[in-house]
Amino acid sequence: SAVISQKPSRDICQRGTSLTIQCQVDSQVTMMFWYRQQPGQSLTLIATANQGSEATYESGFVIDKFPISRPNLTFSTLTVSNMSPEDSSIYLCSVEVEGRQETQYFGPGTRLLVL
Amino acid sequence: DAKTTQPTSMDCAEGRAANLPCNHSTISGNEYVYWYRQIHSQGPQYIIHGLKNNETNEMASLIITEDRKSSTLILPHATLRDTAVYYCIVRVAGNTGKLIFGQGTTLQVKP
Residues in chain A within 8 Å Cβ distance of B42: 108-109
Please name the residues between 30 and 89 in chain B that touch chain A, using a CB distance below 8 Å. Answer: 32, 41-46, 49, 87
Q: Each residue of A65-106: pLDDT tens digit?
A: 999 999 998 999 999 999 999 999 999 999 987 666 678 899
The region of weakest confidence among A6-20, A88-102, B16-30 is: A88-102
| Nearest CA-CA partner of B109 in B39, B30, B32, B22 | B39
Residues in chain B within 8 Å Cβ distance of A109: 41-43
**Residue A85: what are its φ and ψ, rounded to 5°?**
-55, -25
Q: Rounded mean pLDDT of chain B?
A: 92
Average pLDDT of the segment spanning B98-111: 92
pLDDT attached to residue A53:
85
pLDDT attached to residue A101:
60
Spell out a b/e string for A26-50, using b for 16 or more CB atoms within 10 Å of the CB, else e.
eeebebbbbbbbeeeebbebbbbbe
Q: What pLDDT band is residue B63 in, cutting at 50, 70 and 90? A: very high
At residue B95, does pLDDT exceed 60? no
Chain-chain contact of A102 with B42 (C-beta, under 8 angstroms): no
* Nearest beta carbon to residue A109 from set B43, B98, B102: B43
Chain-chain contact of B101 with A44 (C-beta, under 8 angstroms): yes
